[in-house]
Amino acid sequence: MSFRLAPLVAALLATHALPLHATEAAPADAAAGSAAAASAAETATAESAATEEAALAATRAGTPAAPALPAVVVTATALTAPVTVQTDLKQPRQPLPAHDGADYLKTIPGFSVIRKGGADGDPVFRGMSGSRLTILADGQGILGGCNARMDAPTAYIYPEAYDLLTVIKGPQSVAHGPGTSAGTILFERSHERFVEPGVVLYASAGVASFNRTDAILDARLGNATGYLALNGSDSRSDDYEDGDGKRVHAEYHRYNAGAALGWTPGDDTLVELSATQSDGEAAYADRSMDGTKFRREAASLRVEQKNLSPLFEKVEFSAYTSDVDHVMDDQELRTPGTMGYANLLRDTDGGRLATSLRVAAPTLLTLGADVQENTHAARSAMPGMPYSALKEDAQIQQYGVFAELQQELGQQNTLHAGYRSDRWQATDLRTTITGMAMPPMPPMAMPNPSANETRRDTLESGFVRLEQQYAGAPVLVYAGLGHVERFPDYWELIAKQGVSSLSAFDIRPEQTDQLDVGALYQAKRLQASASLFYGRTADFILIDYTMKMNGAARNVEAWTWGGELSADYALTGTLKLSSALSYVRGRNDTDDTDLPQLPPLEGRLGLAWDNRVWSAGLLGRFVAEQDRFALNEGNIVGRDLGGTPGFAVLSVNGGYRPTKAVLVSVGIDNVFDRRYAEFVSRAGGNGMGGAIPGYVQTTRVNEPGQMAWLKVNWTLE
């Protein structure tokens, strides 16, 4: 089923010779292009989304707009355009998310989180995690340092410090980096120009059970010439209790500060220099060590120029550097053990150059290139002893070029297509590999069979998607076919072993072909969306924990299918019923078994009342049992631990707006104090059959029990 797309793109570029209907110019950005397609089709859905985003942008820029603050989001966010979900990250939500990016993603249909403790879970979309998801923070690629995946990229993302979250489902974009088979996730900040001198200030503060506190400040001040943006956050919590009242080793404290200086001499010009620093600590209920340092320092430069000429609609350049310094140990946040300290470092540099060309009135072509280079290093120390020498263990480089086309085929149809080629190079710098040994024997260092080897691969990806708006009906349908070749990531190449070797450095790249179809409907009282997918993956990288304690990487043939449904129905002018459903299935054809780490069927049902001063809401989350699993097989994050029973959880919230700028919200999550664990959870205790001193060993890391919370949001314009 695999196909090459280079000749296809050449053919698509010629389609503007067909007799087409000229339309309004569309935005150059790929994600915005999807929203523009819906707008060109003149759906009510797109008009609603455009209005909301315009108000959001205006508020951040200091221009008058300012509707009252929205109420608490109690159900999942639906599609705003074909394959695209967008949501305001400053909007309060229930259940109350943790401070990191993963918990915010969990409010979108199809997302789950692999729980490890109180924070820093790994996001899973349609059963896929790790580098199958591209995650960018204002254009920056983030790679954690921990070889045991303590710090997923979302662990360094503080959502309320950003303005907009965009999710592009499936391999339906090539403009945001290489090898995205499951989806693309963009956390974005506003870069709008001030039309007059002013200040925009957003602040929120929250308290919750288990001594949790959250505080964030996001301020922008400037004039037509430029702006200064400052943001900071602090979030902390003690251990939480599950529904049985058992304490879970889950305390954390994370904090972040950032600044940006922008120059905007005109409406079409932006130059921004930004820097950020974050750190903290977090206890982990799933392993024998905790994270006691998560220091990240990053800086970036962004340059944008719009409307250079009728041909050049936009030229954009960005470059960034990011250094992660991570420490894990069994000394600081638990009864001291004998493992000591491990210090992991990741240095990442990257950049992107792209230009959007208005080839003809109905034709927008985006051309670009991107690059990322990262180096990983490690050292360790026994308790009371100095660190060993710091050693680099891997260097990985990626250079890519891409082209993405948006072609209007009349008033009702839009064609999207893209192609990219990536050149990868990875070098294994390990001279030895430490193998696990059963106690009381210490780990043994053995020669690395792939020491100093360098592998190079050229991989291709692409997609084509057709969108159609039905004349006279508020319905837009789409169908897209994508192909992606994904290079193995650090955790698959270096952190895991091979089936018959200590090294997995020769693991083959994945090749995924996926069909995505869906529909959006928006009438006066009913808004609904559906997205379905079917994918086959050659050389799917499976991590098999039945062979080796730390997991062996091997290639299998696999397929997945499923989808998401969402609907909102306005019962009255103040009362709305919302629902969402997500499902995924998968099969390992090589072994004739189920594919591991696929969450079960999940549904959400919400009822919200809001008269723009007072609001109240109910959220019911219903998760089916999962009896399809592959015991002790999984991915770089977790493994299947067996089946799970179904469960239902009820949460409630209320809100009050004393002024247009202030929203006070309160809620209780898990009202009936239900004890439950997600299927895609890590093992409780230390994950190795033992237990963390002072805590109860559980099969999985249980979710929090009843949690009461209060939050205040304030926006000053």
Provide the angle, in degrees to the nearest 10, between the axes of the packed helices 44-61 and 30-40. Answer: 130
For position 612, what pLDDT does the model report?
A: 92
Residues 90-115: pLDDT tens digits?
888 888 887 889 988 998 989 999 99
Type of residue numbered 634: G
395: Cα within 13 Å, side-chain hemisphere: 10
Residues whose CB is less than 8 angstroms from the CB of residue 655 and which lie 6 or more positions away in sequence, other chains included: 71, 72, 92, 610, 614, 615, 616, 663, 664, 665, 666
For position 41, what pLDDT does the model report?
A: 35
For position 74, what pLDDT does the model report?
A: 67
Instruction: Tell me the whole-structure pTM to 2 decimals.
Output: 0.89
Type of residue numbered 146: C
Type of residue numbered 206: G
Domains and CATH numbers, the chain: 6-716 (2.40.170.20)
For position 61, what pLDDT does the model report?
A: 38
Distances, alpha carbon 706 to alpha carbons 73, 261, 368, in Å: 19, 43, 49
DSSP codes of every residue in 653-696: EEEEEEETTEEEEEEEESTT------TT---STTSSSS--TTS-
Length of the chain: 717
Residues (pLDDT < 70) of the chain are 1-70, 74-78, 435-443
For position 9, what pLDDT does the model report?
A: 35
Type of residue numbered 632: N
Q: For the sheet with 183-188, list strands across it.
A: 84-88, 164-169, 183-188, 133-137, 140-141
For position 284, what pLDDT does the model report?
A: 97
Residues 551-594: pLDDT tens digits?
999 999 999 999 999 999 999 999 999 999 999 999 999 999 99
